[in-house]
Amino acid sequence: MRLQFRHWIFFILLLITDQTTKLVAHLQGLVVLNPGVSFGLLFQVPHQVLTSLLFGILLLGMYLWLRYLPRQKWAAVFFFAGGVSNVVDRFLVGAVRDWLEVPILGNKNNVADWFIFIGVGLVLIYFFKQPEQFKQPKQPKKETTYA
């Protein structure tokens, strides 16, 4: 699957949106630095190791998504814009800048996390609407010939 120009423009706009909201939140003193992953998990893993691991997972995820979910271009744009923006935070700040209160859970996240959530949500909607698109094609049986 190749992303079209409009997908790349939207990807860049999502990155700019997330990074801008994080900057504004930082200037207002709302940011909490999260050295781990979602919900503060893996906070004890060294920064360089975690960043490298997440970057590798992101690249592998991009490959697998584009290979096995080729019709899910918009979902991929949301999902990977969020992932890339959070990895950018890790390179620039050393942690992910969280600032949005999650009402029920009592923790914080950011716009990039919501982009990831939207991407996964779009795939789930597509899956439930067209589950046959996710099934592996049946391999034809090989005929055996005896000489």
pLDDT in tens, 34-46: 876 655 555 555 6
Quick: pLDDT tens for 40-64.
555 555 656 666 676 777 777 777 6
- 3 state SS for 45-91: CCHHHHHHHHHHHHHHHHHHHHHHCCCCHHHHHHHHHHHHHHHHHHH
Q: Residue 123: enclosing H or E segment and its boundaries? A: helix 111-129
Answer yes or no: are the C-beta atoms of 90 and 60 closer than 8 Å. Answer: no
**CB-based burial of residue 29 (10 Å sphere; 0-12 exposed, 13-18 middle, 19+ buried)?**
exposed
Confidence band (pLDDT; 50, 70, 90) for 24? very high
- Of the two residues 68 and 77, the one the predictor is more confident about is 77
Look at residue 18 and tell me whether its pLDDT is greater than 90.
Answer: yes
Q: In the prediction, which pLDDT does 25 show?
A: 97
Look at residue 141 and tell me whether its pLDDT is greater than 90.
Answer: no
Q: In the prediction, which pLDDT does 76 show?
A: 87
Estimate the crossing angle of helix 73-92 against helix 47-68, to 10 degrees. 170
Q: Nearest-CA neighbor of 15 among 26, 25, 7?
A: 7
| C-alpha 13 chain-centroid distance | 15
Max mean pLDDT among 1-5, 68-72, 102-106 falls in 102-106
Report, as an integer, the average pLDDT of 95-106: 86
Residues above pLDDT 90, as percent of the chain: 31
Residues above pLDDT 70, as percent of the chain: 69
**Measuring CA to CA, how many Å separate 120 from each of 57, 77, 79, 93?**
16, 11, 7, 26
Look at residue 117 and tell me whether its pLDDT is greater than 70.
Answer: yes
pTM of the model: 0.75
**CB-based burial of residue 17 (10 Å sphere; 0-12 exposed, 13-18 middle, 19+ buried)?**
middle
